[in-house]
């Protein structure tokens, strides 16, 4: 099937397989929620979400058959998103400086 402005269309079988994969991954994530694996719950939950959204973007949103301009827009956005979240998280995790204290005598000065 020729689609205006697109090189090709994702096949029905591929869409169905991608959808099944998303559901299976979701079920896996749900099972892991009750598996008592501590911090690994975070890894499985977040990792599965990344794979699921990749499948949605590639096959449901048809990025796999899109033109380079659209792929570029997607990759740019994804990179900026990852950069922002990573920098903020790393900043918080690696903080070792105690909160700033008022210089000596400040309280007295403002008390009048």
Partner 1 sequence: MPEHVAEQFEDIGKQAHAARLAMWIFVGSEALFFSGLFALYAAYRCEHPWGFGVGVEDNTVAWGSINTLILVVSSYVLTLAVRALRHDKPRASALLIGVTMLLGMAFAFIKVGEWLHHFGDGLYPGGWGHFYEEPGHGDPGTKMFFTLYYCMTGLHEVHIVVGLLVLGFLLYKVLRRQIGSWAPHPLEVGAIYWHFVDMVWLFLWPLFYLMPGAVGR
DSSP, residue by residue, 22-50: HHHHHHHHHHHHTS--TTHHHHHHHHHHH
CA pair distance 22, 61, nearest whole angstrom: 14
* Interface pick for partner 1 out of 38, 98, 103, 105 (rule CB under 8 A): 38
Q: Round to whole Å and give the CA distance between 62 and 5.
A: 13
Within residues 17-36, the interface with partner 1 by CB under 8 A covers 19, 22-23, 26, 29-30, 32-33
Residue 45 near partner 1 by CB under 8 A: yes
3-state secondary structure of 105: coil
Contacting positions for partner 1 (CB under 8 A): 1, 3-6, 9-10, 12, 15, 19, 22-23, 26, 29-30, 32-33, 38-39, 41-42, 45-46, 48-49, 52-53, 56-57, 59-62, 66-67, 69-70, 73-74, 76-78, 80-81, 84-85, 88-89, 91-93
């Amino acid at each position: 099937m020729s689609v205006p402005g697109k090189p090709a269309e994702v096949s029905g079988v591929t869409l169905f397989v991608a959808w099944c994969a998303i559901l299976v991954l979701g079920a896996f994530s749900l099972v892991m929620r009750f598996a008592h694996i501590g911090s690994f719950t975070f890894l499985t939950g977040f990792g599965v979400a990344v794979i699921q959204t990749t499948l949605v973007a590639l096959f449901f949103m048809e990025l796999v058959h899109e033109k380079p301009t659209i792929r570029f827009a997607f990759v740019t956005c994804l990179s900026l998103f990852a950069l922002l979240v990573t920098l903020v998280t790393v900043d918080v995790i690696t903080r070792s400086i105690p909160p700033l204290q008022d210089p000596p005598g400040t309280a007295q000065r403002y008390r009048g």
